[in-house]
Structure 1
Amino acid sequence: MSELTRIVLIGATGLIGRAVMEQAVNRADIHLVAIARREVPLPKGARMEMLLSDTGHWPDAIAAARPDTAVITLGTTIKTVGGDKAAFRAVDHDLVLECAAAAKAAGARQLIVVSSVGAELGSKNFYLSVKGEVEDKLAKLHFDRLDLLRPGLLRGRREGPARPAERIGMIISPLADLLMQGRFRQYRSVKDADLARVILALAGAKQRGHFIHHHDEFRRILGAG
């Protein structure tokens, strides 16, 4: 019988968070606790906990979850926050780091974070520079194991109004992906369900270290070549 892994999911209402909950259904080897600001419908057949509170109390909720593994799928866009860079950093930088630190304090040995392809500390692109800065600071928290996922375009059905650029991107992504070869393969798109399966496959991994995963590593983990 597999050892039970306690997972705390932070960012349960987003595209990837919801996909993780769906993929966790019927997984007897994990105990999933999701943390969110508002209630969301649970997948049919889900056997999990959901803790609801404002973000100011998330550290307490994370502590209550007693996680072995923390999964952070938080993220917004510059457009969503009306171009307000401070508002963007408040979520993608401040809240991510606060939750990661809380998970460390709660005893989590592993942290899995959804970042972005191209994340780089000091990048001229604001979005990518923030992602890179966060990755750098997460490494300094010294989890036994840190898994940073750097997907390209995320494909799936989001809540709320459709983002025109993303909608167009999802339409053309199958063809665009084929054109991305060599070092550009890392920019290929990934389905929300596939990334969720990668997250759950990594959860509970015993090998220590700092790992960065791109598209080809996702495919290897999923056994898709």
Structure 2
Amino acid sequence: MSDQTRIVLVGATGLIGRAVMAEAVGLADIHLVAVARREVPLPKGARMEMLLSDTSHWADAVAAGRPHCVVIALGTTIKAVDGDKQAFRAVDHDLVLETARAAKEAGARQLIVISSVGAQFASKNFYLSVKGEVEDKLAKLHFDRLDLIRPGLLRGHREGPPRPAERIGMMFSPLLDLLLIGKWRKYRSARASDIARAIFALAGAKQRGRFVHEHDELRRLLRR
């Protein structure tokens, strides 16, 4: 057990969080602890911990997981919060940074965060600007290793209210991906299960520094 990499997953109820829990099944070298606000059905065969807590106590939950690595898979959409930019920032900025600070205080050496392709603080797009701002602030927390995953459109089954536009995008994404070449390749879609596999490929990596993973790098990780 001492040779296992202890991973605390924050954001277990979302598309990526559920994919991470599913991909963890059968990984003997991983001890996964999921932190969530509400109970989530565990995948069949899962051998992991689930810690339920209000967000105000997530720092305690993260610490209880004794993490080597923390994975933050938090996020909402502008539409989900009815266009309320402050409500969006409360999750994608405030809660992400609060969780990252909790991870640092808990002694995690590695932080893996799901961001977005195109994330840049200077972007005129509000969503991408917030994502870029968060990335910049995460770097200033000085983890031994910071991995920023920037996927394009995520494909997979989502729980909760339907997202018609996103569903249409997923239907046509295999065709559209073929048209995204050259510098546009990074905007190709990705299956949630592949992102989860990439997360486990990164977890426990010894090299220090800040690393950004877009489409081609994510595919390379999956070929290891």
Which range, TM-score by smaller chain? over 0.9
| Structure 1 SS opposite 2:42 | coil
Task: Tell me the CA shift for residue 161 of structure 1.
Answer: 2.2
| Structure 2 SS opposite 1:199 | helix
Task: Tell me the CA shift for residue 3 of structure 1.
Answer: 3.0
The 8 Å contact of residues 115 and 131 in structure 1, kept in 2 or not, is answered as yes
Residue type of the alignment partner of 1:59: A
| Structure 1 SS opposite 2:47 | coil
Distance 1:144 1:182 in 2: 32
Distance 1:161 1:10 in 2: 21
Task: Tell me the CA shift for residue 198 of structure 1.
Answer: 0.3
Equivalent residue, structure 2, for 1:113: 113
Equivalent residue, structure 2, for 1:154: 154
Q: TM-score, normalised on structure 1? A: 0.98
Percent of aligned pairs with the same amino acid: 77
Matched, 1:199 2:199: yes
Residue type of the alignment partner of 2:174: P
| Structure 1 SS opposite 2:183 | helix
Equivalent residue, structure 1, for 2:182: 182
Equivalent residue, structure 2, for 1:18: 18
Deviations 1:51-106 (A, max 9, x none): 00110000010011110000000000000001000000000000000000000000
Distance 2:160 2:31 in 1: 29
**Count of residues paired in the alignment:** 224
Distance 2:149 2:3 in 1: 24
| Structure 1 SS opposite 2:35 | strand
Residue type of the alignment partner of 1:23: E
Q: TM-score, normalised on structure 2? A: 0.98
Residue type of the alignment partner of 2:53: S
Distance 2:44 2:136 in 1: 38
Distance 1:33 1:2 in 2: 15
Matches within 5 A, 1:16-95: 16-95=16-95
Indicate the larger mover: 160-169 or 103-112. Answer: 160-169
The 8 Å contact of residues 69 and 112 in structure 1, kept in 2 or not, is answered as yes
The 8 Å contact of residues 111 and 146 in structure 1, kept in 2 or not, is answered as yes
Residue type of the alignment partner of 2:87: A
Distance 1:110 1:160 in 2: 30
| Structure 1 SS opposite 2:31 | strand
Deviations 1:169-206 (A, max 9, x none): 00110000000000100000000000000001100101
Residue type of the alignment partner of 1:169: G
Where does structure 1 differ by over 2 angstroms across 4 or more consecutive aligned residues?
Answer: none
Distance 2:221 2:116 in 1: 18
